[in-house]
A and B are shown apart, each in its own frame.
Chain A
């Protein structure tokens, strides 16, 4: 029997499960998969379900539709408006119908041939939905935050471990080649910022009104309450309610504080924070938060400031800044906000300049012409430092920002790679984020204990 026939004698799902369970034995299994893919065999197609196809679910779907080798089997959402939109989009893009479900239990009972679920429901549903899917034998990609509670997040990791299935959390920057390049090439390999001493990050989002809803698409209150929402306003604006979400520090801040933890390779030792509901009348969660983390770097502390603002303009946008004694890296999903600065006044600069020059000539950094300071001969301002030499990344991401993270997930299911943000790693990174809102309430510095990070 040739390899192709052997493959076809296994069910497609058996084949994938066996491949993934083989783990280290994949050095033998991989060529089989590769040949099956090359032949376009349906046996290599992954059957997926989309659970939650609202705003974020649509964004993910935009990427999913660009990834080959996926068969969309089911869409699950409590709002018919979203369900029909997802079904229509898949039909147009792929030419086939997808089953739609209001209830995840019904979906899991009916759909017996699923390999993976992509979950983008409101935060408070992440944990129950992920646990159900993992226990049903599905690999899960779940949007961040893992949950609105640390207990919910812990339950997800436990289900991941007990089921043996994959759980990828949607901190998509971890698969972004620009972010990976900064960590691997610039910070770890070439150490261009020197000794990391300070971190700064922000997400400023402009003020906006609460989301509304079309009257002809109202969900009746009994159904809303069945799924945990008091009314349509809460359903449409769940991000602002404490029992449904972790608030803005979770919704926006989680992306960036995760980068703090990923890039430093550790969790912070402590956090303190301030915040308030100062602008909006209909929100429970803080509409502005400023937090301060301390990282024990082994012999010294690096301190990090993070702010999330929804009571301002979006001026300044969103970015993370890593500052050392020899350079600074400002990284953002928006390439326009990404810049690297070399500090030229350090004692060791002559030596370091050679390193930076080599990195530039090797194409690892791209030099950007530093804007000349405007000269006014009548003013001599001795306080102003000379502009730092400026550099840019030599690589671009030419895909939608979530696509590499989803591709990593599906490649991991096929045994080609490891997850870039598995449930356990995400949990350890998210623990300090769950601590921010309580730190605001307690008005005191919160110190993390190793037990906080245990599953």
Chain B
């Protein structure tokens, strides 16, 4: 479904990713883990098509298409979704009107949904994720708490039903109850063919969503890959485990658990 080969990326002339390879099949859950500054967010934004990041080498293919030729909206319509680490506030645009526009946009080939049916569907999903329906008419993300913003990201994922959902540090800033609810929702809304790419610093989220594969990203390279047990190791020993094993010098970045 997603195939990344030798991906090299620059931001403002500085290379951040030095050749990433990643293959995700339909229905798989992958986790990319790494300390701060390892290039995790760069990677997720490159996948979604942020214009700030310049791909200097390598390829990304998604569902048989060359992603690098597509605009962010075209990627979304092809079935990609990014749950943002810092979702943007859009004053004056209600959650319901935004999400209905997005819903219709990713279903361009189908007839637009009526407001009535859309609201019903939205209400169902909001209940599932534990968001009061009063959020519907509030301005998108404006004045929402950190946890509410994250819930709204997952709500969008639930409504848009992407083929591949990238969750960029969805766990950061969440208390354990909120994290649990969000992860349970992700599990509940998942179709068997939907793939998930978890981008995270902490192994904690992997207690709730079990990955098929864990990749450790350090200094812009994937330095270690394994199954779920790699996450366990990281939980016990932190990123120093990887550094020691791979002979990577610590850059003075500490893991805070």
A and B associate in one complex = no
